[in-house]
């Protein structure tokens, strides 16, 4: 198996691809607005703890599984357990989650593409705050804009996945990830000079538990999974293209740190704009699409910066999108013997169709308002702003990914043979000494944390009064 399997061209290639999967809309679009929604400070702290104690150990577990078996998730679980073992269901869950996540992720990526286009046509230049907010409002409800860009994003994602590991994924991330990082540094440089920077730092880092709820803690945990692309086998799949002697520990830590740095940078770029221009703290999906254009409209050369920003945001979304499609496609390639072409096309088109309700969520009664009243009648939400799109995001990131992650942790900690596991962990790394701690985290800390947060979120513990 090892001999014929495609591999990354280099270790740097893997790090960039894994970081490319991790860094995406989750960092730049989602993290700032959920931080705003949950009142900053404490939420960020809990999120950081989740990354360090839950996320990183699971990332190592996923890469370990992939690298050891050289197989995509379903096959990997089968190879490490017995035939007909229920652990294989974890692999299956991952494939299902890939379809769900990419279906709405693509809609947001479509907004990023649309905003790239708007920047190219200099659409923000003469606009004030009200006009820019209204512009997003119009985009949000427009079926044609949402559907059109959703299709475009899926088409590009499919095309890249068709190209395969080295030619497709690796070549792109090599150029685009560093470019995004540099651009964000430049923007941060600008944000530091803004009047609202101090308040933004305070908002992001100063402990403030006022708006934090049980639902918020669940969201922090779920987002730790989402942002690191964990809990559904993406890192198992990418890890399966690693050679068996590649460094597991250093790679995971590098990816985790990069991802976290970019998420925090995004807050420190966005919130200064919010505070400087005295905007309402927008706590909605529209945050970056309102804040950034406003900043660009006030900046010299803003149109150009706008094009760069939204284009790179689109690329960041692409490198994440391809990792999601790759999970789905590689299942059919490895397990069903499909050609890459057939697998990428079939899965891609299925995801495209599944995403249609999300694309129509803002603008149609059926997937917006009616769905909202249905779910609130069922008691699934508190009524406000919970359409199909929100429901998919909520279900996938808050419940499915942590559940998948829990199973992955339990599997590696309790099911995989100890000696082989230890030898595997220690191959090719200078950090073999961390093995004991890794196992303890997977055995006890991860399961207890995930289960406590779940129980608390459904109101069985009542640490925080849930909403
Ligand atoms: N991590 C990506 C982001 O932050 C999204 C993503 C890519 C993802 N692959 C994933 C999320 C797998 C969950 C699972 O934007």
Write the DSSP string, 134-163: HHHHHHHH-HHHHHHHHHHHHHHHHHHHHT
Indicate whether 439 pLDDT > 90: yes
pLDDT of residue 226: 96
Ligand 1 centre to CA of 324 (Å) is 7
State whether the beta carbon of 255 lies less than 6 angstroms from ligand 1: no
Residue whose pair of structure tokens reads 């691809």 in the numeric block: 17
Burial degree of 41 (CB within 10 A; 0-12, 13-18, 19+): buried
Ligand 1 pocket test: pick from 226, 258, 393, 403 the residue with the most ligand atoms within 8 Å of its Cβ. 226
Please tell me the residue having the least CA distance from ligand 1 atom 7: 320
Ligand 1 centroid, distance to 316 Cα (angstroms): 10
Q: How far is the CA of 21 from the centre of ligand 1 (A)?
A: 6
Cα separation of 47 and 221, whole Å? Answer: 6
Least Cα distance to 388 among 109, 142, 34, 103 occurs for 103
Helix axes 197-205, 171-192, angle to 10 degrees: 120
Which atom of ligand 1 is nearest the CA belonging to 25? 15
Closest residue CA from atom 6 of ligand 1? 229
Write the CA distances from 376 to 7, 369, 371, 395, integer angstroms.
47, 11, 9, 15
Is 106 a pocket residue for ligand 1 (Cβ < 6 Å)?
Answer: no
Nearest-atom number in ligand 1 for the CA of 232 is 14
Q: Which pLDDT band holds residue 467 (cuts at 50, 70, 90)?
A: very low
pLDDT digit string, tens, across residues 224-251: 999 999 999 999 998 988 888 888 999 9
What separation, in Å, do the N-terminal and C-terminal C-alpha atoms of the chain show? Answer: 50
How far apart are alpha carbons 18 and 12 in whole angstroms? Answer: 10
* Residue the block writes with tokens 């690796």: 170
CB 444 within 8 A of CB 197: no
pLDDT higher than 60, residue 269: yes
Our measurement of the distance from residue 131's CA atom to the centroid of its chain's CA atoms, rounded to an integer in Å, reads: 30
Scan for tokens 């303890």, then name that residue.
440
pLDDT digits (tens, 9 = 90+) for 275-307: 888 776 557 788 899 988 988 888 788 888 899
Q: How far apart are CA 356 and CA 443, in angstroms?
A: 40
pLDDT at 188 over 90: yes
How many other β-carbons are positioned within 10 Å of the β-carbon of residue 61? 31
| pLDDT score recorded for residue 450 | 92
Ligand 1 neighbour 27 (Cβ under 6 A): yes
Q: Is 31 in the pocket of ligand 1 (CB under 6 A)?
A: no
Looking at residue 466, what is its pLDDT?
43
Q: To test the ligand 1 pocket, which listed residue (19, 25, 26) has its Cβ within 8 A of the most ligand atoms?
A: 26
**What is the position in ligand 1's atom list of the atom closest to the CA of 231?**
14
**pLDDT of 401 over the 80 cut:** yes
pTM, to two decimals: 0.92
Torsion of CA 171, 351, 115, 256, to 10 degrees: -50
How sure is the predictor about 418, in pLDDT bands with cuts at 50, 70 and 90? confident
DSSP line for 350-381: HHHHHTHHHHTTTT-TTTTHHHHHHHHHTTSS
Picking from 462, 356, 440, 466, the residue whose alpha carbon sits closest to that of residue 54 is 440
Confidence label for 117 from pLDDT (cuts 50, 70 and 90): very high
Place of tokens 């199909």: 388
Let me know: does 98 contact 231? Beta carbons within 8 Å.
no
Distance, CA of 338 to CA of 18 (rounded, Å): 24
Q: Which two tokens stand for residue 300?
A: 């010299």
Burial class (CB in 10 A: 0-12, 13-18, 19+), 82: exposed
């Amino acid at each position: 198996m090892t001999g014929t399997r495609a591999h990354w061209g280099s270790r740097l290639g893997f790090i960039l691809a894994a970081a490319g999967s991790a860094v995406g809309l989750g960092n730049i679009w989602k993290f700032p607005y959920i931080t705003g929604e949950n009142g900053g400070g404490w939420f960020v702290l809990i999120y950081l703890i989740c990354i360090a104690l839950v996320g990183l150990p699971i990332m190592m577990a996923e890469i370990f599984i992939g690298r050891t078996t050289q197989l995509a998730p379903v096959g990997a679980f089968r190879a490490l357990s017995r035939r007909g073992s229920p652990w294989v269901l974890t692999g299956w869950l991952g494939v299902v989650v890939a379809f769900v996540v990419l279906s709405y992720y693509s809609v947001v990526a479509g907004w990023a593409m649309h905003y790239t286009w708007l920047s190219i046509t200099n659409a923000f230049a003469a606009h004030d705050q009200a006009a820019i907010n209204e512009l997003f409002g119009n985009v949000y409800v427009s079926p044609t804009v949402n559907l059109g860009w959703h299709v475009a994003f899926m088409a590009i994602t499919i095309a890249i996945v068709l190209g395969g590991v080295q030619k497709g994924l690796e070549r792109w991330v090599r150029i685009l990830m560093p470019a995004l990082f540099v651009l964000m540094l430049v923007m941060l440089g600008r944000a530091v000079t803004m009047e609202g920077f101090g308040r933004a730092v305070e908002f992001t880092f100063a402990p403030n538990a006022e708006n934090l709820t049980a639902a918020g803690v669940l969201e922090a945990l779920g987002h730790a999974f989402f942002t690191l692309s964990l809990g559904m086998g993406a890192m198992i799949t990418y890890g399966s293209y690693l050679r068996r002697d590649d460094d597991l520990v250093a790679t995971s830590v590098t990816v985790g740190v990069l991802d976290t740095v970019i998420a925090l940078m995004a807050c420190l770029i966005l919130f200064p704009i919010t505070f400087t221009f005295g905007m309402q703290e927008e706590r909605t999906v529209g945050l970056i699409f309102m804040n950034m254009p406003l900043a660009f409209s006030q900046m010299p050369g803003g149109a150009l910066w706008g094009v760069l920003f939204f284009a790179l945001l689109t690329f960041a979304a692409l490198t994440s999108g391809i990792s999601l499609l790759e999970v789905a496609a590689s299942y059919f390639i490895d397990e069903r013997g499909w050609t890459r072409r057939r697998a990428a096309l079939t899965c891609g088109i299925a995801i495209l169709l599944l995403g249609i309700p999300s694309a129509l969520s803002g603008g149609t009664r059926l997937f917006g308002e009616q769905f909202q009243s249905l779910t609130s009648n069922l008691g699934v939400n508190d009524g406000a702003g919970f359409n199909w799109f929100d429901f998919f995001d909520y279900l996938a990131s808050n419940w499915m990914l942590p559940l998948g992650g829990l199973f992955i942790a339990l599997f590696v900690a309790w099911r995989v043979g100890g000696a082989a596991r230890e030898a595997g962990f220690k191959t090719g790394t200078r950090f073999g000494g961390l093995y004991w701690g890794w196992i303890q985290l997977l055995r006890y800390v991860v399961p207890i944390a995930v289960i406590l947060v779940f129980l608390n979120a459904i109101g069985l513990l009542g640490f925080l009064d849930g909403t």
